[in-house]
Structure 1
Amino acid sequence: MLQSYKEALEWIHSRLRLGIKPGLTRMDWMLERLGNPEKELKSIHVGGTNGKGSTVTYLRSILNEAGYKVGTFTSPYIEQFNERISVDGKPIHDDEITELTNIIKPLADELEKTELGSPTEFEVITAMALYYFAKVNPMDITVIEVGLGGRFDSTNVIEPIASIITNVGMDHTQILGDTISKIAFEKAGIIKKNTPIITCVKNEEALAVLKEIASEKHAEMIRIEKDFIVSGYRSLKEFEQFTYTSKIDELKDLELSLLGKHQTENAAGAIAALEFLNSNGFIHIDKNKIRSGLKKAYWPGRMEIMQEHPTVLIDGAHNPEGVQAFANAIQQRYSDKKVKIVFSALKDKDLTEMFSTFNKLDVEMYLTEFDFPRAASAQELMEQCNNPMAKADSNWEELLKKLISSLKDDEVLAITGSLYFISTIKPFLKGILKPK
């Protein structure tokens, strides 16, 4: 029996040594012994390469505005572990984490003795979340984010009322495959029989795969640029503005506090899913709740302004598509300012394409490292950067202190890269920056 939150976290994190073990057999084994909580949930499943967390946030915020109690399961966390299992946007309490761990640990110990082997960290946390949302603190609706891929992801044990695939890009290629088609096949694994699939995928190669699997599963496909459209985009000082149009409705001049043009598509995917569920009687939401829910939606670490004067922002751009979206947002919003970028990443990422995008920007580039098993060193990043003007500094704390103390009003400091890097530096930044 674990006595404290600290002990619970230590036990959960100790399972990181097991790495990633794709497959659902261990999840099925644990969930059966827990009374199959996943079957009691009214859930929305969100997969894709980028934009999953933002899409989860839009769904949750709109549903909250309409009066629904919403549980969300997301990863990774930015400020505290408990964020991964949240109710109405608030992380669950430390003692609840301890309680859940004491429920799951005996099962993990028993499972370890079988031929299936020990459950991974992510499998343990997924089981905790599903049990919590069904048995401990029942939700009206749960929104579950895929961890990795889809087909063999631990979350793919749920039976959702709708699935969303935000987009498909080249990430985790060593696990999901080295082509868009192969990755799309893994993402499409969350498509369930007779369950709608909403997608913002535009890549024709990926779309072909999604269409084929949706057809096989008799799943209605609702997709961007066919069934719903984003138009009238404007980048304003403190928010993004766009118009959403579908076969059901038109919502003009919607506002997003999450910055970047790419967020309009994430929001549109969320609206399309809720619109379908509303028109089919699963939920009841009016357009004013959609409007206010979008405006209030907040998701840490995504083009998040940490200080306004001078501007310091953080963004978890951790793969080629994410870096391109980050670069587009920087160009759209800060073309009149001198931009300094601090970047750190995991060594198993496709850094070549990311650096190619960075090198097209007229910015000062700084490369650093952080304490994480798979993190690339500043020197490794420098060797791959192909930018002779870039600077490497292994001490991120001293680097950030120096850059922030000398930052001028007409300059922007943008800190980006791995979400694990963002989660490492954000508490530090909150301690040294002027309150927003």
Structure 2
Amino acid sequence: MVIQTYEDALNFIHQRPRFKKKPTLARMRLFLQRLGNPQRGQRYIHVTGTNGKGSVVAMTRQILMEQGLTVGSFTSPFITRFNERIAINGEPIADQDLLHYVQQVAPVVEALDKELPAGGPTEFEIDTAIMFCYFADHDLDVVILEVGIGGLYDSTNVIESPVVTAIVTVGYDHMKYLGSTIADIARQKAGIIKNGVPMVTGNLPNDSQRVVTQVAKEHDCTVYQFGRDFRTTLVGHQTIYPELSYSGLQLHNERYRLSLAGDYQLANCGIAVTLAQLFMQADGLKLDQRAVRQALLNTKWPGRMELVNQEPMIILDGAHNLPGMQALTETIRDDFKGHEVYVLVAILADKQYELMLGELASLSNVHITVTTFEGPYAGRKSADLGAVVKMIPSHHPIQMVPDWQQAFAKLATQVSTDDVILITGSLYFISDVRHLMLD
């Protein structure tokens, strides 16, 4: 394949297989070896979790940037453009740079396609390799890696000794690849634990915390657990943006106001501040608290409880799986009890969409419209939610409007300025809506 333009580079990446039958890191290690092992020589913070890991990465990145550090970050999926997945100090990789690094890795990919019986690298393995190569050519103080799926066999897990790791949440998602029980999923995520490397854990279910604690013990790894070693408490809620008190490690009752909305961000903030403290402590440094406060006010993370219009309030939130929808439902219950909330939702067909809709429909002030969207590619389609809405008990009739743009236009004309429009479901759907509203 000839790769001469940015579009060629994206096509090369996206035409690769997404998964292989047998999970392994051997192919990724071989791939990186052929590229000169660009992953070596960086200092890493490694973050996994079912939900919330993107927000944790965004807050941790901003805190460390405000301390004067140069921070690389690798996240997924993207909301606006592919480039945002690979960033330095929040600035996405330039189109020309992406083209250059795709041209660098493509010959190795094609050689491995011929050599390996199961074929060469997957799409995500190529994304990961491009990121490692790009960061290797820059002078960075730290790289924050967000795991794609799971942890144990995720292509980011080729790093050998991060400074600190984190498991943000454990819930039911990607069961086809990670296992059918919470303990199985936790074991996959605990695969990022490394010998002697401290780990921060969020508010995990008891079964998964037990698994993580056991794996950590086997690796002589200190665990900093939310609610035990650090905690956050809500102290003010005049707006949808929480104000909280954090205590943990060297800090006691520090007050922060968040720029990311939703009560579930309290735990995410606690994890981010703890990660930043542990990273700085590894260098014998303390966090500048004024810089932390400023960082948490400046953090942006598109498509996660993102307020895009004031009157009426229009919010985009990629609650793309059951745990995410449960967290969103709790936020609606706590923050919008005095409002009528009109929800426009589209979900991928491989998610637990009946249970997700059931969560939303349980609230008496929620009016649901289900819709469809294109889906990221041919193999992953939008669910036909219209086929299940009659089976879901709800306080108000659930509407079905197949064309999401028509559905959005209809909602926009029927709400008052005191109402809330909440657009949720797949992050790919949120990306489509965001392009329409903000471009």
The answer for the alignment partner of 1:418 in structure 2 is: 426
Per-residue CA shift, 1:389-408, capped at 9, x if unaligned?
11111100111122113331
The answer for the alignment partner of 1:366 in structure 2 is: 369
Structure 2 counterpart SS, 1:39: coil
TM-score by length of structure 1 reads 0.95
Change (3 A) 1:213 1:65: same
The answer for the alignment partner of 2:409 in structure 1 is: 401
Checking the alignment, whether the CA contact within 8 Å between 1:21 and 1:120 is kept in structure 2 is no
CA distance in 1, matches of 2:310, 2:48: 32
CA distance in 1, matches of 2:16, 2:23: 15
CA distance in 2, matches of 1:35, 1:384: 55
Structure 1 counterpart SS, 2:233: strand
| C-alpha deviation, 1:331, in angstroms | 2.1
Per-residue CA shift, 1:14-43, capped at 9, x if unaligned?
114656863211210111111111111111
Aligned-partner residue type, residue 69 of structure 2 = Y
CA distance in 2, matches of 1:409, 1:80: 31
Structure 1 counterpart SS, 2:344: strand
| C-alpha deviation, 1:351, in angstroms | 2.1
Checking the alignment, whether the CA contact within 8 Å between 1:41 and 1:141 is kept in structure 2 is yes
Runs of 4+ in structure 1 deviating by more than 6 angstroms, as ranges, are: none
| C-alpha deviation, 1:384, in angstroms | 5.9
2:384 to 364, 372, 377: 377
The answer for the alignment partner of 1:216 in structure 2 is: 218
Task: State the aligned residue count.
Answer: 430
CA distance in 2, matches of 1:334, 1:284: 38
CA distance in 2, matches of 1:417, 1:5: 29
**What's the RMSD between the two structures over aligned residues?**
1.7
Checking the alignment, whether the CA contact within 8 Å between 1:340 and 1:414 is kept in structure 2 is yes
The answer for the alignment partner of 1:301 in structure 2 is: 303
Aligned-partner residue type, residue 383 of structure 2 = A
CA distance in 2, matches of 1:330, 1:75: 25
Structure 1 counterpart SS, 2:15: helix
Aligned-partner residue type, residue 241 of structure 2 = F
Change (3 A) 1:400 1:342: same
Change (3 A) 1:16 1:419: farther
In structure 2, runs of 5+ residues without a counterpart are none
Change (3 A) 1:278 1:91: same
The answer for the alignment partner of 2:114 in structure 1 is: 113
CA distance in 2, matches of 1:101, 1:340: 43
Per-residue CA shift, 1:338-385, capped at 9, x if unaligned?
110011111111223212211211211011111113321243453664
CA distance in 2, matches of 1:249, 1:163: 20
Higher alpha-carbon deviation: 353-362 or 265-274: 353-362
CA distance in 2, matches of 1:352, 1:312: 24
Checking the alignment, whether the CA contact within 8 Å between 1:239 and 1:258 is kept in structure 2 is yes
In structure 1, runs of 5+ residues without a counterpart are 432-436
